[in-house]
Amino acid sequence: DTGVSQNPRHKITKRGQNVTFRCDPISEHNRLYWYRQTLGQGPEFLTYFQNEAQLEKSRLLSDRFSAERPKGSFSTLEIQRTEQGDSAMYLCASGDWRGGEKLFFGSGTQLSVL
């Protein structure tokens, strides 16, 4: 059990550029979540997958955000045409039936949009 891995740890980009983040969940965890966290706030739910199926996406999430989980293993989160308001920590978490609804978080990707 190597934990949830996220890459890159930091990303600095210019407004208008596209960025992609990767998350490798704990092996055999069938559920994978993406959250966004800004300073002083709790994690904000973005989307989650059970295996390769994206079961829910936040209504607050712009169409510029898209996530995939091909083959039910790793996941990618892409943000197109980034805006300064997208600057945040993007957290990935995973879980499985043995842990109920407990979430195990990765270290996150800190995005800064200049």
Partner 1 sequence: QKEVEQNSGPLSVPEGAIASLNCTYSDRGSQSFFWYRQYSGKSPELIMSIYSNGDKEDGRFTAQLNKASQYVSLLIRDSQPSDSATYLCAVSTGGFKTIFGAGTRLFVKA
Binding site for partner 1 (CB under 8 A): 31, 33, 35, 40-45, 48, 50, 55-56, 91, 95, 100-108
Residue 17 C-beta: closest distance to partner 1, Å:
26
Tokens (6 digits) for 1: 């059990």
- In 3D space, the residue among 87, 81, 97, 68 whose CA is nearest the CA of residue 15 turns out to be 81
d(CA 39, CA 97): 31
Residue 36 C-beta: closest distance to partner 1, Å:
11
CB closer to partner 1, 31 vs 113: 31
CB closer to partner 1, 3 vs 80: 3
Residue 104 C-beta: closest distance to partner 1, Å:
8
CB closer to partner 1, 12 vs 15: 12
**Are the C-beta atoms of residues 106 and 5 closer than 8 Å to each other?**
yes
Rounded to 5 degrees, φ, ψ at 69 are -145, 75
Conformation bin of residue 64: beta by default, left when phi > 0, alpha when psi is -120 to 50: alpha
CB closer to partner 1, 76 vs 107: 107
Residue 10 C-beta: closest distance to partner 1, Å:
12
Give the side-chain half-sphere CA count within 13 A for 32.
31
